[in-house]
Amino acid sequence: MKKTVYIISLVLLSVAFVLPQEAVKMPASSVVVVKSKNKLSSKQLKTGQEIVLFVATDVMIKGKKVIKANAPVVCLVEDAESAGMVGQAGKLTISIQSTTAVDGTTVALSGNFFTKGESKTGTSVAVGVVLCPLALLCKGDEGDIPAGAQARALTVGEYEVAVTE
C-alpha cells in the first residue's frame, strides 16, 4: 500500500512540474540563418551528396524560441565541379533543405550557398600559346565556401511549434 501511495505521489509531483506548452505559429517565409562550421570545397564534395550545416542564431517568433541555434540543417550538394585544366574554375552549389524546431517538428527550408572559384582560362591560354604549352595544364581555383559562412533560408509553409520557453 505504501508503495502505491509513493508511486502515485511521484506521478502527481512530476505532472505538477511539467512546463506548460504554448503553440506558436511560425509563418511561411520566416528567416533561418544557416552557417558552415567547416570549409566546404568543390574538390571534396560530390553532386547529390547530403551534408549537415547548422542554424546560426535562435529563430524567435513573438519572443518565443522556435528553432535553436546550432540545430542541424540538412543540405544537398546540387552541383560540385572541381577546377579543371586550361584554368577552368570550380563551382559549388548547396541547397538548404530542412531543420528541426524545438518540439521536433521538421521544418522545410528554401535557400542555397553558391560559389565559383576564379577562372584562369585567359591567362593559361595566353601563356600557353606564347611561351609554353604546359601552361594549359594550369587549373583554376576551386569553388570554396569558408568555415563560418552564412546564408539565409526561408521556411516553406506555416508551422505550429509547441514552445516551453
Looking at residue 46, its pLDDT comes to: 95
pLDDT single digits (tens) 49-96: 999 999 999 999 999 999 999 999 999 999 988 765 445 668 899 999
The arithmetic mean of pLDDT across residues 101-121, rounded, is: 84
Neighbours of 84 (CB within 10 A): 13
pLDDT single digits (tens) 7-52: 555 555 554 455 557 999 999 999 999 999 999 998 899 999 999 9
Residue indicated by cell numbers 595566353: 126
Looking at residue 92, its pLDDT comes to: 92
pLDDT single digits (tens) 138-150: 555 667 899 999 9
Of the two residues 7 and 121, the one the predictor is more confident about is 7
Q: What contacts 120, CB < 8 A, 6 or more positions away?
A: 87, 89, 138, 139, 140, 141
Give residue limits of the domains in the chain. 19-163
Residue 137 scores a pLDDT above 60? no
CA 114 to chain centre: 12
Looking at residue 136, its pLDDT comes to: 43
Q: Which residues lie across from 79 on neighbouring strands?
A: 93
Q: What is the CATH number of domain 19-163?
A: 2.40.128
Q: Give the side-chain half-sphere CA count within 13 A for 91.
A: 8
Residue indicated by cell numbers 521556411: 155
Residue 120 scores a pLDDT above 90? no
Contact in structure between 67 and 101 (CB atoms under 8 Å): yes
Looking at residue 21, its pLDDT comes to: 76
